[in-house]
Amino acid sequence: MINPVYVAIDTTEAARAISLAERLKGQVGGFKLGLEYFTANGPAGMEAVSGLGMPLFVDLKLHDIPNTVAAAMKGVVRLGAAITTIHASGGAAMIRAAVDAANDEAAKLGIAPPAVVAVTVLTSLDQAGAEQVGFDRPVLDQVKRLAALAQDSGAAGIVCSPLEVEAVRALCGPDFKLVIPGIRPAWSEAGDQKRFLTPAEARAKGADVLVIGRPITGAADPAEAAARIKAELGL
Ligand SMILES: O=c1ccn([C@@H]2O[C@H](COP(=O)(O)O)[C@@H](O)[C@H]2O)c(=O)[nH]1
């Protein structure tokens, strides 16, 4: 079985990212690099990690007007991303522009396009936090609403918490990619994550990709932590 774990390598230091990636290569399915790393190290820093030969998840959560997102998405495709993120709340036209740009640029380069997945409600928000930003309905309903919008607008999948996986799967079907952060092994700390489950629980509910950062990268022995998660997943 393919390892569904993408380790979130959240650091500003390229040397640390490369060292972690080298140590974790055999224990995870791919590497996720996000805003913290990209703003410090740029495309060259991303390529230093993708050069290790594992699938790359470029998590920049693009959210702007359609024209701007489309232009930025072309740059993401040039990084060789296997998966990348936009915000579903950017709206139908923005999602469609991102997907079209990804497909066009990939065709131009003769490579496979990334799976463009749309962030619904951040896993750091609980119900009260979601209401503060204007989501005046249960988080689950907001996630389902944005999931339907993302699917109708051409996205390959969404990002949501493990708590919403079963409902979104029922709504969007088996081929819609569910990329799931908010993953906390029983032996790890929640930190700023508010809607979370263990890796095995998320997988059992039907998550396709498990995004796990600090429980691995913050462990005394990151490779041992990743191996422990792998074992808990029965891999
Ligand atoms: O709703 C979201 C969307 C993205 N993330 C990202 O996932 C990882 C989680 O890292 P942990 O250290 O395991 O908390 C991180 O890179 C976030 O930017 C998310 O957590 N929630």
Average pLDDT over residues 205-228: 98
> Which of 10, 31, 194, 212 is the pocket-test mutation for ligand 1 (most atoms within 8 Å of CB)?
10
Residue nearest to atom 11 of ligand 1 (CA): 213
64: annotated active-site residue: yes
pLDDT tier at 1, thresholds 50, 70, 90: confident
> How far away, in angstroms, is 124 Cα from ligand 1 center?
8
- pLDDT per residue over 126-138, tens digit each? 999 999 999 999 9
**Per-residue pLDDT averaged across 90-115, rounded?**
98
Q: Say if residue 38's pLDDT is above 90.
A: yes
**pTM exceeding 0.90:** yes
Give the mean pLDDT of 78-100.
98
Task: Output the CA 108–ligand 1 centroid distance in Å.
Answer: 31
Q: Which of 25, 64, 100, 177 is catalytic?
A: 64
Any atom of ligand 1 within 6 Å of the Cβ of 61:
no
pLDDT band, residue 231 (cuts 50/70/90): very high
55 lines ligand 1 (CB under 6 A): no
User: Could you read off the pLDDT of 139-183 as tens digits, one per residue?
Assistant: 999 999 999 999 999 999 999 999 999 999 999 999 999 999 999
Closest ligand 1 atom, CA of 191? 14
Binding-site residues for substrate, in ranges, read 10, 32, 59-68, 123, 184, 193, 213-214
Span 181-194, pLDDT tens digits = 999 999 999 999 99
Given the cut 0.90, state whether the ipTM is greater than it: yes
Q: Is 123 in the pocket of ligand 1 (CB under 6 A)?
A: yes
Q: Atom 5, ligand 1: which residue's CA is nearest?
A: 181
Q: How confident is the model at residue 37 (pLDDT cuts 50, 70, 90)?
A: very high
For residue 199, pLDDT beyond 90? yes
Average pLDDT rounded to a whole number, residues 49-72: 98
Q: Residues 48-68: what's their mean pLDDT?
A: 98
Domains of the chain (ranges; CATH) run 5-233 (3.20.20.70)
**In the 3-class helix/strand/coil scheme, how is the chain assigned residue by residue?**
CCCCEEEECCCCCHHHHHHHHHHHCCCCCEEEEEHHHHHHHHHHHHHHHHCCCCCEEEEEEECCCHHHHHHHHHHHHHCCCCEEEEEHHHCHHHHHHHHHHHHHHHHHHCCCCCEEEEECCCCCCCHHHHHHCCCCCCHHHHHHHHHHHHHHCCCCEEECCHHHHHHHHHHHCCCCEEEECCECCCCCCCCCCCCCECHHHHHHHCCCEEEECHHHHCCCCHHHHHHHHHHHCCC
